[in-house]
Amino acid sequence: MIFALLGVASVSHYLVVGAILFSCGVVCMAVKRNALGVLMGIELVLNGANLNFVAFGSNYLAADGRSPLGLDGEVVALFVILLAAAEAAVALAITLNFYNNHATVDVDRADDLHG
């Protein structure tokens, strides 16, 4: 039966999802020329990491019903979310400033300090 596949959700599987998000984010950061695309890549990376924290900290997923991290996982994830929001605000402000000065959001054009 196909449904047999379903009994899978373990910490490892959460980690794999986190890894995929993380890799996508890394590619996004590396590849995108649009500053906003780079920003979105960062968001993805942070999310992948967050997923790991949550998976490790989840009692529900822990094999013995008690996660080794306890609350720490969630708290760290919470801080990551907050800081990501802060980061997005600043990054957006930088992007807008960059756009003001260069009339573009192409990060490849941000080479003013290039010798």
Partner 1 sequence: MNQASFGIPVSLFASVTIDWHGFFFLLFAAIACISALMVVLSDNVVRMALHLVLSLGATAGLFFLAGAEFLGAMQLMIYVGGTLVLLVFGVMLTAQTQLVSLRTPAGDRVIASILAAALLAVLVQAAFSIESWQKPGQGMVSAPTATPLGMALVGVRVDQHAEEGLLEPKGGYLLPFEIVSVHLLVVLIGAAYLARAKRRRVPRPVDLVASVDSVEPTFSGNSDTTVSGGSE
Partner 2 sequence: MSQILDEDQRIIEFDVRTDEMLVNMGPQHPSTHGVLRLVLRTDGEIVSEMEPHIGYLHRCAEKIGENLTARQWIPYTDRMDYLAAMNMNLGWSLAVEKLLRYQVSEKARHLRVLIVELNRIASHLVGMGAYGLDLGTFSPFLYAFREREKILDLFEEVCGARLTYSYITVGGMTADLPPGWLQRCEAFLDQFEPIIQEYHALLTTNAIFVKRTAKIGVLSPEMAIDYGCTGPVLRGSGVDIDLRRDGESIYTAMHDGYAFEVAVMKDGHYPRDHKYPAVPRDAILGDCWHRFFVRMLEVVQSMDLVRQAMDRYSQCKGALGEPLKLAEKLPAGDTYLETECPKGQMGFYLVTDGTSIPWRVRARSSSFSNLAVSPELCRGCLIADVPAIVGSLDVVMGEIDR
Contacts to partner 2 from residues 72-101, by CB under 8 A: 96, 99-100
Taking CB under 8 A as the criterion, the residue among 2, 5, 30, 103 binding partner 2 is 103
Amino acid at 111: D
CB-nearer residue toward partner 2: 83 or 96:
96
Phi/psi-derived region of residue 110, left when phi > 0, alpha when psi is between -120 and 50, beta in every other case: beta
Q: Which does 79 bind (CB under 5 to 8 A by kind): partner 1, partner 2, none?
A: partner 1
Q: Which residue has the tokens 């950061």?
A: 29
Residue 46 to residue 41: CA distance in whole angstroms: 9
Shortest CB 53 distance to partner 1, Å: 9
Binding region for partner 2 (CB under 8 A): 96, 99-100, 103
